Structure 1
Amino acid sequence: MRFFDRTCLSSLLGASLVAGSLAATPVLARQPDGPVDLTAQAQPAKPAPTKPAPATPAPKPSTPAPSAAAPSPLAVPSTSATPVVEEPDTLPVAHWTLADAQSLLATIRGIGAEGLFARDYEPANLAAAIKVGEGDALDQLASRLFVWLAEDLRDGRTPMTARVQWFAVDPDQDNHPNAQLLAQATETHDIKGVLAGLSPKHPDYALLKDMLSKTKDPKQIAMIRANMDRWRWLGQDLGLQYLIINVPEQELRLTVNNQIIRTYRAIVGKPGRTATPQLAEQVRNVVFNPTWTVPQSIVVGEGLGARLIGNPRQAAREGYVATKNADGTITVVQQPGENNALGRVKLDMPNEHAIYIHDTPSRQLFAQPQRALSHGCIRAERATELAMTMAILGADLPPETAVEYNLSGKYTKVPMTKPWAVYITYFTVARDVNGVMRSFADLYGRDPAVIASFAKPRELHTSQRKSNEAVIKLDNPL
Structure 2
Amino acid sequence: MNFSVKFSLLTVATLSIPVSAVAQEDLTRQVPQTAPPATVSNPVIQAVPGITFEQPKPVIEEWSKKDAKALLTFIEGVGADGLDPAEYRPDDLRQALADGTVNVSQNVDDWSDLDATGEELSLSEVASQSFTWLVEDLRDGRTPMEDRKQWFVIDSDPDFYPTSDLMTEALQQHDVAGVLKSLNPTHPDYAVLKQALANTPKTETKKRKLIRANMDRWRWLPRDLGTQYLITNVPEYQLRLTVNNKIIRTYKTVVGKPGRTATPQLAEVVEGVVFNPTWTVPQSIVKGEGLGQKVLNNPTWAANAGYKATKSENGFINVVQQPGPGNSLGMMKLDMPNEHAIFLHDTPAKNYFNRDQRALSHGCIRTERALELAITMAILGDGVSKDDAVAISKSGEYTKVALKKTMPVYITYFTMATDIDGKLRTFDDIYDRDAPVLASFDQPRERNRTRVTDEEVVPIEDPGL
Structure 2 residue 462 is the aligned partner of structure 1 residue 476: yes
Q: Determine if contact 2:232/2:238 at 8 Å carries over to the other structure.
A: yes
Offset at residue 296 of structure 1 (A): 0.4
1:236–1:326 distance in 2 versus 1, CA, 3 Å: farther
| Counterparts of 1:326 and 1:181, CA distance in 2 | 63
Identify which of structures 1 and 2 has the higher relative contact order when contacts are C-alpha pairs closer than 8 Å and 6+ apart.
1
Secondary structure class of the residue paired with 2:122: helix
Q: Determine if contact 1:98/1:134 at 8 Å carries over to the other structure.
A: no
**1:48 alignment counterpart:** none
Which whole-Å deviations, capped at 9, do the CAs of 1:362-418 have from their partners, x for residues lacking one? Answer: 000000000000010000011111111111111242111111011101001001111
Structure 2 residue 406 is the aligned partner of structure 1 residue 439: no
**1:107 alignment counterpart:** 74
Q: Determine if contact 1:395/1:414 at 8 Å carries over to the other structure.
A: no
Q: 1:171 aligns with which of 139, 142, 156?
A: 156
Q: Determine if contact 2:63/2:127 at 8 Å carries over to the other structure.
A: yes
**2:273 alignment counterpart:** 286
| Counterparts of 2:313 and 2:167, CA distance in 1 | 61
1:13–1:231 distance in 2 versus 1, CA, 3 Å: same
The code of the aligned residue for 1:459 comes to E
Q: Determine if contact 1:164/1:467 at 8 Å carries over to the other structure.
A: no
Offset at residue 88 of structure 1 (A): 4.5
Secondary structure class of the residue paired with 2:210: helix
| Counterparts of 2:328 and 2:157, CA distance in 1 | 38
Structure 2 residue 3 is the aligned partner of structure 1 residue 18: no
Secondary structure class of the residue paired with 1:441: coil
Structure 2 residue 336 is the aligned partner of structure 1 residue 349: yes
| Counterparts of 1:288 and 1:109, CA distance in 2 | 55
Secondary structure class of the residue paired with 2:406: coil
**2:361 alignment counterpart:** 374
Structure 2 residue 275 is the aligned partner of structure 1 residue 308: no
Q: Determine if contact 1:312/1:322 at 8 Å carries over to the other structure.
A: no
The code of the aligned residue for 1:132 comes to D
**1:160 alignment counterpart:** 145
Structure 2 residue 241 is the aligned partner of structure 1 residue 227: no
| Counterparts of 2:22 and 2:350, CA distance in 1 | 25
Offset at residue 228 of structure 1 (A): 0.3
The code of the aligned residue for 1:151 comes to E
| Counterparts of 1:418 and 1:180, CA distance in 2 | 31
Offset at residue 89 of structure 1 (A): 8.2
Query: Structure 2: where are the runs of 5+ without partners?
Result: 1-17, 30-52, 103-120
**Structure with greater strand percent:** 2
1:340–1:14 distance in 2 versus 1, CA, 3 Å: closer
**1:214 alignment counterpart:** 199
**1:297 alignment counterpart:** 284
**1:125 alignment counterpart:** 92
1:337–1:88 distance in 2 versus 1, CA, 3 Å: closer
1:14–1:470 distance in 2 versus 1, CA, 3 Å: closer
**1:95 alignment counterpart:** 62
Query: Structure 1: where are the runs of 5+ without partners?
Result: 1-9, 23-85
The code of the aligned residue for 1:167 comes to F
Q: Determine if contact 1:109/1:118 at 8 Å carries over to the other structure.
A: yes
Secondary structure class of the residue paired with 1:245: strand
Give the TM-score taking structure 2 as reference length: 0.83
Offset at residue 215 of structure 1 (A): 0.7
Query: Considering only aligned residues, what root-mean-square deviation do their CA atoms show, in Å?
Result: 2.0
| Counterparts of 1:314 and 1:371, CA distance in 2 | 30
Which whole-Å deviations, capped at 9, do the CAs of 1:100-143 have from their partners, x for residues lacking one? Answer: 10010000001011111101101011000011238961111111
Offset at residue 309 of structure 1 (A): 3.2
| Counterparts of 1:18 and 1:176, CA distance in 2 | 37
1:89–1:299 distance in 2 versus 1, CA, 3 Å: closer
Q: Determine if contact 1:154/1:232 at 8 Å carries over to the other structure.
A: yes
Offset at residue 338 of structure 1 (A): 1.0
Alignment map for 1:29-40 (pairs within 5 Å): none
1:351–1:124 distance in 2 versus 1, CA, 3 Å: same
Which whole-Å deviations, capped at 9, do the CAs of 1:225-280 have from their partners, x for residues lacking one? Answer: 00000000000000111110101111110101111001111001000111000000
Which whole-Å deviations, capped at 9, do the CAs of 1:70-123 have from their partners, x for residues lacking one? Answer: xxxxxxxxxxxxxxxx99584010000000100100000010111111011010
